[in-house]
Structure 1
Amino acid sequence: MTLQVGIIGTGMIGQDHIRRLTQVLSGVRVVAVTDINLERAQAAAPQGATVYETPQELIRAAEVQAVVICSWGPAHEEQLLDCIAVGKPVFCEKPLVTSAEAALRVMEAETAFGLRLVQVGFMRRFDADYRRLKAVIDGGTLGAPLMYKSVHRNASVPEGLYTSDMPLNDTLVHDADISRWLLRDEIAGVEVRVPRRSSRGGELRDPVMVLLHMTSGAIVDVEISVNIAYGYDIRGEVSCETGIAALPNRPATVITDQFGIRQAIPEDWRERFIEAYDQEFREWIVAAGQGTATGPSTWDGYAATLVADAALRAVASQHLETVEMVSKPDLYNQ
Structure 2
Amino acid sequence: MPSPRRVSIGIAGLGRIGQRHARTLLAIPQANLVAAFTPAPHELVWARENLEPLGVTVYDDYDKMLEQEGLECVFVATVTAVHAEQVLKGIAKGKHVFTEKPISTKEDVSQSVVDAAAKKPELKVMCGFMRRFDSSYAELKAKLDDGLIGKPVVYYGQTGDKRDPSGFFVQYAQFSGGIFVDCTIHDIDLALWYLGENNVVKSISAVGTCAIEPALAEHNDVDNAVGIVEFYSGQMASFYVTRMMAAGQEDQTWLVGTEGKMSVNLEPRINHLKIHDKYGVRSLEPQTFFDRFAASFATEFAAYLDTIINDTPVPIPFKGAVHAVKIACALQEAVNTGVKILYDENEVRTN
- Fold in common (TM above 0.5): yes
Contact 1:232 1:267 in 2 (8 A): yes
Counterpart residue number, 1:141: 148
> 1:252, CA displacement in angstroms?
4.8
Report if aligned partners of 2:200, 2:346 keep a CA contact under 8 Å in 1: no
Deviations 1:302-332 (A, max 9, x none): 11221122112212342321468999xxxxx
Please state if 1:119 is matched with 2:126: yes
Matches of 2:81 and 2:223, distance apart in 1: 24
Deviation at 1:216, TM superposition (A): 1.9
Going from structure 1 to structure 2, the CA distance change for 1:34 and 1:162 (only over 3 Å counts) comes to closer
- Deviation at residue 241 of structure 1 after TM alignment: 0.8
**1:33 matched to 2:36:** yes
TM-score normalised by the chain length of structure 1: 0.88
Tell me the TM-score normalized by structure 2. Answer: 0.84
Give me the whole-angstrom Cα distance separating, in 2, the residues matched to 1:42 and 1:104.
36
Instruction: In structure 2, give the amino acid aligned to 1:272.
Output: R
Deviations 1:126-158, CA, capped at 9 Å, x for gaps: 111110111121111211111111111111145
For 1:261, which of 281, 302, 322 is the aligned residue? 281
Match of 2:295 in 1: 275
For residues 211-230 of structure 1, the aligned pairs below 5 Å read 211-230=228-247
| Contact 2:152–2:194 (Cα < 8 Å) also in 1 | no
The correspondence for 1:18, drawn from 15, 22, 33, is 22
Separation of aligned partners in 1, 2:145 and 2:56: 44
Q: Aligned equivalents of 2:123 and 2:200: distance in 1?
A: 23
Q: What amino acid sits opposite 2:32 in the alignment?
A: R
Change (3 A) 1:293 1:10: farther
Which position in structure 2 is the counterpart of 1:233? 250
- Structure 2: distance between partners of 1:107 and 1:2: 26
Paired letter, 2:206? V
RMSD (Å), alpha carbons: 2.4
Q: 1:49 to 1:258 in 2, by over 3 A?
A: closer
Distance in 2 separating the partners of 1:307 and 1:108 = 19
Q: Which residue of 1 is the match for residue 97 of structure 2?
A: 90
CA gap 1:43/1:266 in 2 versus in 1, 3 angstroms: closer
- Cα distance in 2 for partners of 1:154, 1:175 equals 14
C-alpha deviation, 1:87, in angstroms: 2.5
1:192 to 206, 210, 214: 206
CA shift for structure 1 position 173:
1.0
Stretch deviating more after TM superposition (78-87 or 155-164): 155-164
Structure 1 residues 140 and 223: CA distance shift in structure 2, 3 A: same
**Among the aligned pairs, what percent are the same residue?**
24
Amino acid paired to 1:37: A
Q: Which runs of 5+ in 2 are unaligned?
A: 217-221
After superposition, the Cα gap between the structure-2 partners of 1:201 and 1:42, relative to the gap in structure 1 and judged at 3 Å, is: closer
What is residue 330 of structure 1 aligned with on the other side?
Answer: none
Query: Per-residue displacement from partner, 1:162-203 (whole Å, max 9, x unpaired)?
Result: 4496212211211111111122243513210226x53x3345
**Amino acid corresponding to residue 286 of structure 2 in structure 1:** P
The one-letter amino acid of 1:19's match is R
Counterparts of 1:42 and 1:203 in 2: how far apart (Å)?
Answer: 31
Change (3 A) 1:96 1:153: same
- C-alpha distance in structure 2 between counterparts of 1:121 and 1:213, whole Å: 25
* Local SS of the residue matching 1:113: coil
1:32 positional shift: 1.0
Q: Paired residues, what number?
A: 324
Residue pair 1:307, 1:323 contacting (<8 A) in 2 also = no
Change (3 A) 1:219 1:252: farther
- Residues 50-81 of structure 1: CA deviation (Å, up to 9, x unaligned): 22342122223222111111111222222211
Q: Which amino acid aligns with 2:82?
A: A
Q: Provide the residue aligned with 2:325 in structure 1.
A: 305
Aligned amino acid, residue 28 of structure 1? A
